[in-house]
A = this chain, B = another copy of it.
Amino acid sequence: MSKAFAVIAGVGPGTGASCARRFASAYPVALLARSPENYEGLVQEINKSGGKAIGISTDVSSEDSVKSAFKKISDEFGGGACAAAVFNASGRFARKPFLEMSVQDFRGSWEVSVQGAVIFSQAALPHLLKHAEDKSAKYPPTLIFTGATASVKANAQMSGFAAPKFALKALSTSLAKEFAPKGVHVAHAVIDGVIDIPRTKDWLKDMPPEAKISADDIAESYWNLHTQSKRCFTNDIDIRPMLEKW
């Protein structure tokens, strides 16, 4: 099998899993997450339903770990061209008074959200560039970063989350400008609202379903970004549910 692959970093029960399913309808997919329980069931599901998926336990903040993951992807899928890479990982954070936040917490959030994005992009881009040279490719290779409200809005007690998210958006824009002329489509999505996943089941409980974002619909929007032609690249989108206040 030498078909171009898709790779999703930060696969959990929400956006990552939905992207995995959506892109698996067109490409073999590699799913990266720190904990195998985040991808194991999904890998099985995709492989059973006619797709092709592998899961790789990966720490995106570590160059060695990501390099090793991409080597494994190349070995498994052959060829080495990447059609789509989605960076969906995010450092943990908890809203807290600035003077109570430890430098280590701040650093840890950045190491996943930003350093992880750099490492992932440096690993994925050679494969995306390879796909850009494939004249038979149906769609331009696409690198997508998942952002949040905090990518454009820095609230009180949220610097540990907002600072990395602002930085990620800057990274995305810089890469979009550098790699578009080489045929790679880089995009950033501000996810502005609560995604409807098991963990958020009890949030906004008294509201109708339109108060939360559907992860499958995010994945569909990412897919639509992927299918844009070289003559129509969207580099920035926002996404929110119908009932979001903003």
Q: Which residues of A contact B (CB under 8 A)?
A: 63, 97-99, 101, 103, 106-107, 110, 114-115, 118-119, 121-122, 125-126, 140, 150, 154-159, 162-175, 177-181, 183, 185, 196, 209-210, 212-214, 217-218, 220-221, 224, 228-246
Contacts and interface: CB of A to CB of B under 8 A. Distances in A.
B181 A159 contact: no
Given A115-B103, A240-B233, A156 B171 contact: no
A167 B156 contact: no
* Interface secondary structure of A, over-half rule: helix
A125 B110 contact: no
Contacts of A177: 154-156, 245-246
Q: Which 6 A-B pairs have the closest CB atoms?
A: A217-B232, A156-B178, A214-B231, A159-B174, A163-B167, A166-B170
8 contacts: A98-B122, A98-B178, A114-B163, A156-B174, A180-B244, A210-B231, A217-B232, A232-B239
Contact of A167 (B166, B210, B242): B166
Given A159-B170, A171-B159, A242 B238 contact: no
A101 to B, nearest CB: 8
B231 A217 contact: yes
Which has the most chain B C-beta neighbours within 10 Å: A171, A230, A231, A240?
A: A231
Contact of A220 (B63, B150, B171, B232): B232
B242 A181 contact: yes
B99 A122 contact: yes
Contact of A118 (B106, B209, B240): B106
A173 B165 CA distance: 13
Given A178-B97, A242-B181, A213 B236 contact: no
B229 A233 contact: no
B110 A98 contact: no
Nearest to A180: B242
